[in-house]
Every structure is written in C-alpha cells, then in structure tokens.
Structure 1
Amino acid sequence: MKPLEIEVFLCRSDNFGVLLHDSETGNTVSIDAPEEAPIIGALNRRGWTLTHIFTTHHHHDHVEANLSLKEKFGCEINGPHDEAIAIPGIDRSSADGDEFEFSGHRVQVIATPGHTAGHICYYLPDDGLLFAADTLFAMGCGRLFERPAADMWKSFQKLMTLPDETKVYFGHEYTLSNARFALTVDPENEVLKKRAVEVDTLRNEGRFTIPTTIGLEKQTNPYMRVADAAIRTHLGLADAADEDVFAEIRTRKDKF
C-alpha cells in the first residue's frame, strides 16, 4: 500500500487546510472544511477530486464549507457522534473507539472532549498520522469552551499513549504564540528553548510549523508535562493533582 499524499495550506486567517490523497483509488479526504476556495484551489493544484470530509467538531471555522463542497463533489461527510446534529451535511457519525477504512487505511476515532463536548481526533495507526484539530496544538491545547480542564487532561492522556513518532496535524497556526507562552511556564527546558528559536525562524520565513510529533510534544508542550517537577515548582503547585496543574496552565494561557 502506497503512503497517503498530504497537502497542507492555509484557510481563513490561521486555519490549516489538510488534504489526504490515496493515489491508488483516487480518493481524497479533507480534514474539516474551513473555507471553500482554498480547498478547491489545493485540489486543483494537485489534480485531485474530493471524496470525503472528516469533521472533528462543530465550530464554524471547521465546517463552513461542508455543504458547498458536498454540493460540488458529492463527498461523504463523517463527523463526531456527539455533535452530529450540529455538523452540516453529515452522512455518518463516529464515536470513541470506532474504526473504519479510508482506501484501505485504518482510521481510528479518539474522542477528545475539552475544546468542544464532542470533539474527535482521527488516528491512522498504520500511517502514523493523527489529525488533532483544536485539541492538541504544537506546544499548546485548544481553548476550553464546552468542557472543563479535567476533561481535556483526560483527552491529552489518550493522545500521549500514541507512539512518539506519530505525526500530528493540528487545526491552527498558533505555534509562535504557544512557544512564547510555554517558555513562561517551563523556562529552563533546553529542548523548548531550541524549538522556540526554530519556530521563530520558520514563521519569519513564512513557513508552516505543521506537523509536530507526539514525542516532540512530550518534550516541549507544557500541557503534556504537568508531572514535571520544575514546572510544578515554577507554578507553586508542587503537590497538586495533574489535572489542577493542567488547569492552571490553561488559565494562564487564556490571560497571556
């Protein structure tokens, strides 16, 4: 089986558009549908035809183009079971632990409530790919709109069990801001310091910071490092529960 081809591009102001293409079947999936024109532009650049949309959550900037793309291409839309009523054009829904195939590639569904109540991530274990949308960002996590920090921490714990080499595609180009914030929480982390410099260079050159990996996030993402003694001491939470440290970091980021 040939590896899936991946095309990454910007939609709206800072949303990532991501297309996956299977050259053997010609099938192409869009991870969410933030904006019609950039998605069609990317399809045209590559000579691909859209056959599927994998929706991660109901926010407008992730489903705006669902209906227009479905009308144009007749594509099948998969979305989160717990938000199915809010996903435009949905054809089938998936819940935590579900598995299906995209052109012979296994796709596992991981429920990651936090940013929204029904947010899901799509994990392709044989391809080493995770599409995390607004749950896990490079050195960050999504804002908590519909579920408390304790729920998001449980979601992060699920993702942390994935292999370190798993490539993570996330929903927004927030990496520069996330790196700057992470340094305020984890200032002595040498790997983080180095990564922050690299990210600054990438953005100054107009390049994307996607994808990351689970292993790199374990080293540099403060939300995955809540057990770290230095972070806990820095926050004055040496003996706090992990979920409380997570909550404090997210609260500080909201004010950053």
Structure 2
Amino acid sequence: MKKLIGIVALSLLAAGCKTSPTGRTQIALYSPQKMNEMGVASFAQMKEQQAIEKDKNTNAYVRCIADKLISQLPTQYANQDWEVVVFKEDSANAFALPGGKIGVHTGLLKVAEDQHQLAAVMGHEVAHVIAEHANERVSQNSLLQFGLQASDVALQMGNVEYRQAIMQGLGIGAQVGVALPFSRSHESEADVIGLDLMAKAGFEPTGSVKLWENMNKLSGERPAEFLSTHPAPDTRMQTLNSKMPEAETLKRSAWQKGLKPECK
C-alpha cells in the first residue's frame, strides 16, 4: 500500500513539474484550458453577484492601465482578449483570473493615488496569472488532500492509536508548513514579476513601494508572518526596493521607446 501511494505521488509530481517565470520549480497538474475555463466561470459568477461600476471615466482610466500592462505580457497572454471590470466594492483590492479576466474594486482607487500605484496592484495580479499560481494552488490542494487521505488509510490499516489526533496534527502541519509559505512565495513572486511588468510598460516602479506604504496605514493588526498567507508589508517593501535598480533600467528603456503612460 505504501509503495502504491509513493508511486502515484511521484507520478503526479513528475507529470506536473514546471518552472515559473523567476525560475522557481512549481507543480501544475491542470491544463491551461482547464484553468481558463475555471477562471471564466468564476468571473461570470462575480459579475452576476456584484455591482459593477458604470462611470465611463473610471472604466476608461482602469482600462488604460490594463492595456499598457497587457501589451508587455508574454505573447500567449498579450494576444488574449482581456476583460476588465470595475466592481463597486469598498475593499482596496483587485484580482486577475486565468482566461483573461481582471477585476478592480472601487475601494482600491481611493488607496492607489495615481496611475503608477494602481499599475503596481494590477501588475501584481496579472503576474499571478502568467506565473500560473492558481494552477499551483489547486494542484497543491489536490496533493495535500491525497496525502492526508493516504495517511489516514495507512493509520487505519495499522490500527494506530490516537489516529484522529494524529490526523488533526497532520492537517495543521500541512497548513502552516506547506500551504501558508506556499502562498507567501506566490505573493513575493508576483510582486517581483509585477514590478518588472509595470516598469516595462513605462510606469514609475517606485509607485509600488508608495502603494504599500498607503496599504500599511490602512491595515490593522496582523497575524505573525509565519501564520499569514501574505508577507508583511515591510517585507514586501524591502523586496521591492532591492529590485528597484533593475526596474528603473526597464522604465528608462520603455521611455526611450516612447512608452510613457498618461492614464487619467
């Protein structure tokens, strides 16, 4: 039984091994087509359930930034027909989904004070898509469930005492030791990819740090970073600042090509 479980797990891992845009090894078990289907379905449901901002100026502003960022994506993504929707929602948030979908909450427009700061958030969210983070998360959850179920079967077959307590411990361990750090690695990677993306489009990369300064002012108490799905704002700003020289070089190159956004 243990050998069979091991063979199945190794087969799944081998089949799903890929490399992210930053060179990180990742597991992606689902096809791009399947992820696109899931993204399109989720976005359609959101549009049915949430109010949509109709103001033309607001939509034109958000679309302008999205178009500048999309033009710098790898060809397979740049050629997609991206749908951009502004939702009437007070939270300072945005998201992007496989299948060419971008959502921006009106609350974010109060925190992102200019086009550069909003480009930082939108670039970060699009980075999640091109790095296939959604695929990784779904794949990770599938593997965790498989591992926990296999462990439970093995414990039952061995008549192990305190099986329920052991399984609860394994579940907590998987969440803290695997799922949470995995999510933080996604956020950090999206910060770096998004920074490069906004710089290539001609936005001011320093807007990313300013955005997080604004976000930090709005945030209340947070759990310890090792128990959080996101890196602490200070950690994110340190990472962004460390990558700023390269981003500034990309921005200057974009300006030389005439790429200097004026989204208002």
If the length of structure 1 is used for normalisation, what is the TM-score?
0.29
More RCO (CA 8 Å, sep 6+): 2
As a proportion of its length, which structure holds more helix? 2
As a proportion of its length, which structure holds more strand? 1
If the length of structure 2 is used for normalisation, what is the TM-score?
0.28
